[in-house]
Structure 1
Amino acid sequence: MIDGTTTGSGGLRYTKPSSHSGLWILAPTVGALAGLIYGLASDIEPLVSALRGAFIGAPVLLYERGVLMRRWRDWSRRAATPVFGLATLATYVAMIVFGNAVAGTILHHGFGYMANAHVAMKMSETGFAYALGISALVTFVLRVRDLMGPRVFASLLVGRYHRAITEERIFLFLDVAGSTRFAEEHGDLAAQTWLGAIFNALALPVRRASGSIDDYIGDMAMVSWSMERGLRDAACLECVFDVLRIVEADAGRWTARFGEVPRFRAALHCGPVVTAEIGLERRKIAYFGDTLNTTSRLEGLAKELGAEIVVSGDLLDRLGDLPGHIRISEFGVRALRGRKESLRIAAVHVHKSAKIAP
């Protein structure tokens, strides 16, 4: 995950690789398969249907995953529902027409199909309706997945937690500092808009760190990882630093829109939890156990200690050797309210000579 190289100034520069590399293969593959299905039903040659499907489906999927036209996509998703619907429909139509034109041009000039390029770029009404319908269906599934969270969506589909199980997970409680004061100064409506923008900013760092945003509780986001994913290259810690970097890099816009830049307190801990599906009409995956309570207590202790990011000794021991740009400041063993056993606690931060590349 981290590519550490020494910079000319002697600091450590590290870069996160793109989390979208696999999509450039997956998107055209899914599009080609959809095209082949239409071709089989309409008696169209496989090469023609697959190529058209790839060039039509890939842009739509890449757009929905935030790879193409991200600013336009983000704007439309923040707009009112009617505006969002019309903007998305217009975007799909443009992508379908353009993708079909590119595929037709390649089929004519590269493979000799159709009498001329103009004919090759034409699209039947049935083909257009099919492309638009499949795009809408895939988008609906992806939106449900985003609403529930990728991990929750997949787990509910396969019924992984239909029966409660015990597993070990890493938890991050990320609290927005000063939210109560902000609400008192600007009102509850403005505070909710502010928190909404902050939580939107968390999505990309959590996705890059292979985590899952499991819940929003007031002004706090609860993020979790499986032990394997969270420990790999200290992904759970890198996620917090990534959030801070993104917010700091956009400090001007935060100040212009809300009058201040968000600040955070973060607590990380790991341990066993009971995980289960709960609810009947509205199902969700919930966690039970002392690990969650301890993480909550750590977040409260971070405020008392004046620390931005605190980590339990249990998690530090599991992380082992940390990347060179991460520094540890030990607080020693501390008693936590509501917990019989004391816990070793430390603060973590990025070394001043380390530079995080966007």
Structure 2
Amino acid sequence: MRNSLGSWIFALCVVAASGILYGALFYGRASAIGAIFALFVCVPIIAFERGVLFPRLYAWISARSTPVYILLTFIAYYALISIGYTVCGTLLWWLNVLPEATWSNATMLPDNVVFYALGVSAILSFVSRIRELLGRGIFFNLLLGRYRKPIEEERVFLFIDLVDSTAFAAEFGDLRAQQFLSALFATFAEPVRRRKGTIDDYVGDAAIITWPMRRGLRKGRCIHCVFDILDAIEADSDKWLKQFGRVPQLRAALHGGPVITAEIGVDHHKITYFGDTVNTAARLETLCRTLEAPVLISSELASRMKLSSDIDAEYLGTHAVRGRGQSLGVIALQREQKRLSKGVVQRA
């Protein structure tokens, strides 16, 4: 999410605007040159903080204790600012955009540029971290106060659960089980981002992923998200076996319909969803074990979209769902000509 095209466009616009503001504050005139310098100075810092530039170095620094992390981060930032400013000054001087300046003047890094660049980069990094923590959609909805008053809307919910997590914890211990779950949930991030979804919450060994109804139905995004996750796990099966001694097995259920969405909390704010749709999606996931089907979708939701040709759908009839006044039509999904029993998704 943090490296999506939208987030980069937003960051570039803010950085360019900060450069124009810098020129107005320190030189009494707004100029595009300030925006160019700002981009050369701040973008490398943002790319470094997002793990795009020197990812191994950033990962190594991130693993240090907090005081060492802060010290090393500022050293890295200062180096990137110096290099960016020198490269930009050299380029503009060579293009004769700064005709009145010598090369040394064009590339000499003023102290106020260092502090200004660090400040802008720190603000953008902070916003990026908060947005990553809350989720893109949730962050902007909280920022805009969209759900301060509860509203009714239609959403798709995907409940996806790790099979036999209790047994894993009993065998390897709670700490190892938590590391296993952390690695698994990290695997979810890219498929969910690619399919325009939002990870709403983690509940024990399960993740709840949601879409606004129209977005989730378009091109079958909600269904493809499930199989993208399964494919990602399968592709790294050797890595899972080497690191944890087993490949994750998942159960997943999809359902959608009307919910009440509201922002709740005082000291800690959260957007939450109320209604039968959420409860039905959760209870549908428990049917995966009973029906020996790793991926289920309600017939109500399936009827609202066209399944792609690579998805096999098997209607399993109607089933009573606990807490629901009527039976629910259930469909099992799997990839055509590809049985998902290679250690990625199996019966519990």
Superposed pair shares fold, TM > 0.5: yes
Greater relative CO (CA pairs within 8 A, separation 6+): 1
What residue number does 1:28 align with? 12
Match of 2:308 among 305, 320, 323: 323
**Residues 93-131 of structure 1: per-residue CA shift (max 9 Å, x gap):** 333222222211221111341544343222101111110
Aligned pair count reads 335
Aligned pairs (5 A) from 1:1-358? 20-22=4-6, 25-43=9-27, 46-65=31-50, 67-70=52-55, 72-73=57-58, 81-82=66-67, 84-113=69-98, 115-319=101-305, 321-352=306-337
CA distance in 1, matches of 2:307, 2:72: 45
Alpha-carbon spacing, 1:86–1:229, altered in 2? closer, same or farther (3 Å)? farther
CA distance in 2, matches of 1:350, 1:281: 45
CA distance in 1, matches of 2:225, 2:66: 31
- Name the TM-score, length of structure 2 as normaliser: 0.88
Alpha-carbon spacing, 1:246–1:132, altered in 2? closer, same or farther (3 Å)? same
Identical residues among aligned pairs (%)? 44
**Residues 50-75 of structure 1: per-residue CA shift (max 9 Å, x gap):** 11111223333344455444555556
CA distance in 1, matches of 2:56, 2:283: 38
CA distance in 1, matches of 2:30, 2:95: 15
Offset, 1:168: 0.6
What residue number does 1:9 align with? none
Alpha-carbon spacing, 1:88–1:328, altered in 2? closer, same or farther (3 Å)? farther
CA distance in 1, matches of 2:252, 2:258: 20
For structure 2, the residue ranges without an aligned partner over 5 or more in a row are: 340-348
Letter in 1 for 2:248: P
Offset, 1:24: 5.4
CA distance in 1, matches of 2:58, 2:319: 46
- Name the TM-score, length of structure 1 as normaliser: 0.86
For structure 1, the residue ranges without an aligned partner over 5 or more in a row are: 1-18
Offset, 1:234: 1.1
Alpha-carbon spacing, 1:177–1:86, altered in 2? closer, same or farther (3 Å)? farther
CA distance in 1, matches of 2:336, 2:54: 35
CA distance in 2, matches of 1:83, 1:270: 47
Alpha-carbon spacing, 1:239–1:90, altered in 2? closer, same or farther (3 Å)? farther
CA distance in 2, matches of 1:84, 1:223: 33
**Residues 35-56 of structure 1: per-residue CA shift (max 9 Å, x gap):** 1111110116613211111122
More divergent stretch after superposition (109-118 vs 242-251): 109-118
CA distance in 2, matches of 1:233, 1:250: 26
CA contact (8 A) 1:27 1:62 kept: no
CA distance in 2, matches of 1:230, 1:179: 28
